[in-house]
């Protein structure tokens, strides 16, 4: 009989087959603890950045409030509504001037706005070379006067609202403007544009209703709707020179700019504006839609410091240089990813609510801006006319009156 060694258990200790040895278990705990620690640190930094950002630390100011107005945009909302089978409203249709002025009058009356920014559209004011039509401009200025409102008038190639470049067809004859071009580098277009600017200034300068001039609209920002075109500083300087030469009252000249992220800082362009203009104008859109890994969200832009701009610092720099700081476009309508006609009380935009609009005005106040022009009054009227929702018109009127709460 042979003596066999006693059979050994395959498990050397009392751990289960799925339990890691102590060394591995310790490593796993270390990794998890480290990851948790990193999350805590990042959350702490995010909280600190937020609490130290200018929207949390700057005092509340009391800017002069106004609105923007574009008849083209009012037509798009109220007359060119595909949800009701309405098509293009022609610019040369009978009664257009009266309709535009009447719509403008409604907004001024129902909001009580005392300051308004409007643009001269080149294709409307000079439909044929050398033939100027000031009927609409005159009607809008007269309407403002009738409602005791003052006009901030933007002239030039680039105007409010997309596609921004309203260049008449004849002005593009023999002109070459490739994608990404500085369009005013073309000598023929430049000559034609400056001739138009001079004609508008000579016509509008005598009006006491005009209180400020805009040398184009965001001239140094490439237009995403128009082949990423932009204007040259030398051209804008010529515009400013024309204003100062032709305006006996020497009213302030505004050059506007837009910045939404730190990486599109336009530091050089802001320096140009502070050197060439009396007022640095800035667009401020606090709430925009973003999609991250397929998840749609609304991000409050100014509070994500240091990723987003410090608008209060822009104001301080302008004031230190003896310039004023105006927010020439302050978001007061949705930033829409679909047809604006479809936004309604039953289908509201995630990036605009009465609370968000009040917050946008609070942001503007904390910049220390001297003025702020609300962007979207035409949309307020559309909501009331199309959907019977007077929420936005009533709220806009209160904000313009300084009733912030």
Q: Tell me what percent of the residues of the chain surpass a pLDDT of 90.
A: 74
Residues 196-234, buried b or exposed e (16+ Cβ, 10 A)? bbbbbbebbbebebbbbbbbbbbbbbbbeebeebbbebe
What is the pLDDT at residue 116? 98
CA distance 402 to 404: 6
Distances (CA, A) of 388 to 102, 331, 391, 393: 19, 22, 9, 11
Q: How confident is the model at residue 265 (pLDDT cuts 50, 70, 90)?
A: confident
What is the pLDDT at residue 288? 82
Domains identified in the chain and CATH numbers: 58-400 (3.20.20.80)
- pLDDT of 8 over the 60 cut: no
- pLDDT of 187 over the 50 cut: yes
DSSP string, 106-141: HHHHHH--SEEEEE--HHHH-SBTTB---HHHHHHH
Q: What is the pLDDT of residues 24-80, one digit of tens each?
A: 666 667 777 777 777 765 665 555 555 568 888 899 999 999 999 999 999 999 999
What is the pLDDT at residue 49? 58
CA 55 remoteness from chain centre = 18
Strands 253-258 and 371-375, by their bridges, are: unpaired
pLDDT, mean of residues 351-363:
96
- Answer for the pair 370, 63: CB distance below 8 angstroms, yes or no: yes
* CA angle 115–371–71, rounded 5-degree value: 40
334: nearest Cα among 369, 291, 298: 298
Mean pLDDT estimate for the chain: 90
Burial class (CB in 10 A: 0-12, 13-18, 19+), 48: exposed
- pLDDT of 5 over the 80 cut: no
372: nearest Cα among 333, 330, 313: 330
pLDDT, mean of residues 166-184:
95
Name 104's bridge partners.
none
- pLDDT of 304 over the 70 cut: no
25: enclosing H helix or E strand = helix 22-52
Q: What is the pLDDT of residues 81-92, one digit of tens each?
A: 998 999 999 999
What is the pLDDT at residue 50? 59
- Answer for the pair 371, 117: CB distance below 8 angstroms, yes or no: no
């Amino acid at each position: 009989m042979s003596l066999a060694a006693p059979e050994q258990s395959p498990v050397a200790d009392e751990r289960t087959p799925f339990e890691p040895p102590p060394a591995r278990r310790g490593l796993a705990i270390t990794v998890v603890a480290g990851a948790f620690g990193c999350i805590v640190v990042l959350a702490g930094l995010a909280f600190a950045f937020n609490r130290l950002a200018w929207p949390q630390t700057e005092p509340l100011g009391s800017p002069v409030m106004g609105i923007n107005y574009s008849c083209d945009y009012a037509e798009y909302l109220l007359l060119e509504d595909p949800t009701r089978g309405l098509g293009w409203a022609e610019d040369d249709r009978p009664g257009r001037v009266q309709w535009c002025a009447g719509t403008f009058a409604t907004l001024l009356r129902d909001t009580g706005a005392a300051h308004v920014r409007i643009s001269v559209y080149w294709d409307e004011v000079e439909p044929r070379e050398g033939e100027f039509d000031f009927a609409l401009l005159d009607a809008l200025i007269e309407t403002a006067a009738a409602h005791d409102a003052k006009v901030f008038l933007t002239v030039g190639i680039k105007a409010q609202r997309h596609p921004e470049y309203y260049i008449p067809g004849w002005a593009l004859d023999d002109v070459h403007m490739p994608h990404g071009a500085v369009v005013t580098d073309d000598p023929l277009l430049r000559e034609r544009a400056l001739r138009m600017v001079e004609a508008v200034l000579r016509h509008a300068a005598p009006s006491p209703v005009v209180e400020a001039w805009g040398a184009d609209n965001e001239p140094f920002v490439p237009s995403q709707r128009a082949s990423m075109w932009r204007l040259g500083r030398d051209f804008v300087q010529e515009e400013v020179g024309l204003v100062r030469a032709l305006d006996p009252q020497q009213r302030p000249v505004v050059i506007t700019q837009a910045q939404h992220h730190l990486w599109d800082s336009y530091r050089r362009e802001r320096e140009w504006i502070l050197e060439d203009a009396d007022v640095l104008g800035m667009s401020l859109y606090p709430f925009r839609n973003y999609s991250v890994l397929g998840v749609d969200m609304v991000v409050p832009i100014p509070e994500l410091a240091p990723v987003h701009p410090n608008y209060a610092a822009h104001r301080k720099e302008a004031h230190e240089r003896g310039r004023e700081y105006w927010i020439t476009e302050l978001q007061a309508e949705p930033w829409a990813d679909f047809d604006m006609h479809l936004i309604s009380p039953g289908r509201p935009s995630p990036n605009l609510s009465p609370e968000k609009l009040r917050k946008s005005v609070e942001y503007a106040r904390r910049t220390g801006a001297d003025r702020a022009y609300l962007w979207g009054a035409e949309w307020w009227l559309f909501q009331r006319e199309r959907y019977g929702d007077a929420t936005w018109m009533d709220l806009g009127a209160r904000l313009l009156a300084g009733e912030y709460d």
